[in-house]
Amino acid sequence: MKIAVVGTGYVGLVTGTCLAETGNHVTCVDINVKKVEAMKNGQLPIYEPGLELLFHRNIKQDRLFFTSDLAAAIEDAKIIFLALPTPPGADGAADLSYVLGAGADIAKLLKEYKVIVTKSTVPVGTADKLTAVLKANTDVEFAVVSNPEFLREGVAVDDFMKPDRVVVGTTDERARKLMGELYGPYVRQGNPIIFMDERSSELTKYAANSFLATKISFMNEIANLCELVGADVDMIRKGIGSDERIGKRFLFSGIGYGGSCFPKDVQALAKASEENKYDFKILNAVMDVNTIQKSVLVEKVKNYFKGDLKGKKFALWGLAFKPETDDIREAPALYIIDDLLKAGATVAAFDPEGMKNVKELLGDTISYGDNQYDVLKDADALLIVTEWSVFRTPDLDQVGSLLKNKVIFDGRNLYDLQKMIDCGFYYNSIGRKIVS
């Protein structure tokens, strides 16, 4: 099938590449001309495990194309995916200007029936708004479909190729058939394509992200309570996670959820509820807990150093908002760095993939290491911020000998408490006993 994907960010590029992988002819279009040129030259603009292989294979086999010309991209496409940004506006509501703007541009180019799909995360009622924009600009028939994306960065290719489910919101029979045909190869493992109306589909996406964010904030509160009562949050996680009704996944306490989606989507759902005069109490608590949680690690550092961080040097392991990505949008590391710098400390950081983006944002306000040990030299303490695999079994003798003090603050609970005692570290993690 001929497909166009508008917007080639984390979602658009993964969607386009994975759709090409099952034999579709996919043209990706982006307004960022530099990015398009780079992709045409075989350069991936993002780090996403497993993507590179499929990207090169599908370009080579003439199934994946890049352009900045919208008209050329959509000319023969039966389905047009919109994978455009929906950032928070000043009031927290999702900014639909990219999606609706692209809708108007597409409408003016329509010559025959096409299906226009919102892959972006959009609030309830967007399909209606998009339909109205298209209708105002064309007499040609079309269908607007909601098809939210549930992929996670870092495992995006796997999530797209083997989704737990595909949600398709449409009341148009032709569109339903085309979407069913397109997604057939991805749901062969027996996972469903769930068809529903557009509004339910749009809300499903926000409900999913907000529920997951709620799980995280709940566990972060349990962790904070554990520290007060002398319990261990990892034991609680195991204890409740083995109940199938609760489930093992997404129960890791830490330093607050980050990334380009949870913070913005929880906020957007709260705003949409408010606009509909519904007081969604849980969401407000989820956001409040997350704001506090982003500062717990630095609070621990301040307590240890009795409030005086001036002139101290801190080593940071991890900058990306999660492992296996270079994405630093709303990364807890950025909040931690800001707090440390404001307190008069200096920061030396290492991240396997996130340093380029942080350098662009923060320049030389912090220093960067070539590897994880580089940054430890003469540091007053090590802070673990992102749980990259490479940080899980470090050479603790080397860590201890490079640091000025054998002090670790761990926002991701990577190490066994007894091991840290045996190695002679002061070790302060989340929701567990402080050991020294």
Ligand X SMILES: O=C(O)[C@H]1O[C@H](OP(=O)(O)OP(=O)(O)OC[C@H]2O[C@@H](n3ccc(=O)[nH]c3=O)[C@H](O)[C@@H]2O)[C@H](O)[C@@H](O)[C@@H]1O
Listed in sequence order, the residues at least 6 apart from 157 whose beta carbon sits closer than 8 Å to its beta carbon are 14, 17, 18, 48, 49, 50, 51, 54
Report the nearest approach of ligand X to the CB of residue 390 (Å): 16
Given ligand X, ligand NAI, none, residue 65, with its beta carbon under 5 to 8 Å by kind, binds none
CB 144 within 8 A of CB 120: no
Q: Can residue 209 be called a binding residue for ligand X (CB under 6 A)? A: yes
Given ligand X, ligand NAI, none, residue 254, with its beta carbon under 5 to 8 Å by kind, binds ligand X
- Using alpha carbons only, give the angle 249, 253, 257 rounded to the nearest 5 degrees: 90
Q: Can residue 324 be called a binding residue for ligand NAI (CB under 6 A)? A: no
CB 312 within 8 A of CB 345: yes
Compare residues 106 and 268 and give the one whose CB is closer to ligand X.
268
Q: Can residue 15 be called a binding residue for ligand NAI (CB under 6 A)? A: no
Separation of alpha carbons 412 and 257, rounded Å: 12
**Catalytic residue at 261?**
yes
Q: Can residue 321 be called a binding residue for ligand X (CB under 6 A)? A: yes
Both structure tokens of 124: 């309830």
Compare residues 2 and 248 and give the one whose CB is closer to ligand X.
248
Identify any residues that bridge with 118 across adjacent strands, giving them in sequence order. 82, 146
CB 250 within 8 A of CB 240: no
Three-state SS at 220: helix
- In the sheet that holds 381-384, the strands lie side by side as 367-368, 346-350, 313-317, 381-384, 407-410, 426-428
Q: Can residue 134 be called a binding residue for ligand NAI (CB under 6 A)? A: no
Given ligand NAI, ligand X, none, residue 9, with its beta carbon under 5 to 8 Å by kind, binds ligand NAI
Total residues interacting with ligand X, rule: CB under 6 A = 20
Catalytic residue among 18, 28, 261, 423: 261
Q: Can residue 254 be called a binding residue for ligand X (CB under 6 A)? A: yes
Consult the annotation and say whether 151 binds a ligand. yes
Which of 22, 25, 32, 367 is close enough to bind ligand NAI by CB under 6 A? Answer: 32
CB 319 within 8 A of CB 385: yes
Binding annotation for NAD(+): 30, 35, 86, 121, 153, 264, 329
**In the complex, which residues of this chain contact ligand X (CB under 6 A)?**
121, 149-153, 209, 212, 216, 250-252, 254, 257-259, 261-262, 321-322
- Catalytic residues, which ones? 261
